[in-house]
Structure 1
Amino acid sequence: MTGAPLTPEQQARVVSIAMDLAREGRTAELMEFLDHGLPVDVADREGNTLLMLAAYHGHGETVEALVARGADVDQRNDRDQSPVAGAIFKGEEDVVRTLVAAGADLDAGTPTGRATAGMFGREHLLPDEER
């Protein structure tokens, strides 16, 4: 037996809960939402993805799980910010390493990850070959 499709209000609530889980680093619970059909690159009203929020808040395990599920490491929000630039801004070395290893473009977005590192004195977060 299949349930009725979610209303727009219900869909918005599901996305909001998932965003909170990403923001809080509650990986196992978030993965259940994905297991039940929530798109890995779903975005909130500001264009922030689950990956963006997990990266910005320094939740390495959640970032790794989302990357493993195929999250777009370069999907930018409505302010043209990238997950890797957010992680650099926050000084999240492990998250930056994971995103770069997954192919994140340090020259994407405004400001770019590379520019963010320069602005905030965090060049040490860039891979040696990227400095």
Structure 2
Amino acid sequence: MSEPTGALSPEDSARVAALAADLAREGRTAELLEFLEHGVPVDLADGDGNTLLMLASYHGHAETVAALIGRGADVDARNGRDQSPVAGALFKGEKAVVQALVAAGADLDAGTPSARQAAEMFGTQALLGVEPDGER
């Protein structure tokens, strides 16, 4: 039996998912939004559980992060290693990304390590508005 008109084969679906992940990783916001407009789920995840938001966050693409948040991306979706987008952004020292995720309500205590733990480990507490000694 053939697939309905417009349906993608599993191979084509995998290709689309890989392309969307690359767009998020590269911060190609406009192109990524076109994929979403054509039905790619905003919380699409790769084989390691990295969502489009995680990939954009980790690679420091604040505009893409904001666009994904605006489309309803789950700011607390953790990957297969229990890492959150905000913890990844803190690890990389991505201030604008951290600010966008925190403003969208990211849970700073979720994941392993949590965002708070990651900030402490990598000396990026200032990105959370906390001084290294723990005072605000």
Q: Is the pair's TM-score, using the shorter chain for normalization, greater than 0.5? A: yes
CA distance in 2, matches of 1:105, 1:14: 30
CA distance in 1, matches of 2:94, 2:69: 16
Question: Which 10-residue stretch deviates more, 23-32 or 2-11?
Answer: 2-11
CA distance in 1, matches of 2:39, 2:72: 14
List aligned pairs for 1:10-49, cutoff 5 A. Answer: 10-49=12-51
Residues 51 and 73, structure 1, Cα contact 8 Å, conserved in 2: yes
Aligned partner of 1:70 among 51, 69, 72: 72
Residues 82 and 109, structure 1, Cα contact 8 Å, conserved in 2: yes
Q: Which amino acid aligns with 2:94?
A: E
CA distance in 2, matches of 1:4, 1:29: 20
Q: Which amino acid aligns with 1:17?
A: L
Confirm whether residue 119 of structure 1 aligns to residue 102 of structure 2. Answer: no
Structure 2: where are the runs of 5+ without partners? none
CA distance in 2, matches of 1:64, 1:80: 22
CA distance in 2, matches of 1:120, 1:83: 15
| Percent identity of paired positions between Structure 1 and Structure 2 | 69
CA distance in 2, matches of 1:78, 1:120: 21
CA distance in 2, matches of 1:118, 1:65: 28
Aligned partner of 1:107 among 100, 106, 109: 109
CA distance in 2, matches of 1:127, 1:33: 35
Partner of 1:3: 5
Q: How many residues align?
A: 129
Partner of 1:96: 98
Give me the CA root mean square deviation. Answer: 1.3
CA distance in 1, matches of 2:104, 2:129: 13
TM-superposed CA distance for 1:4, in Å, is 3.5
Q: Which amino acid aligns with 2:60?
A: G
What does the per-residue CA deviation read over 1:52-73, in whole Å, with 9 as the maximum and x for residues that have no partner?
0000000000000000000000
The structure that has the greater radius of gyration is: 2
Q: Which amino acid aligns with 1:7?
A: S
Runs of 4+ in 1 over 6 A off after TM superposition: none
CA distance in 1, matches of 2:56, 2:6: 31
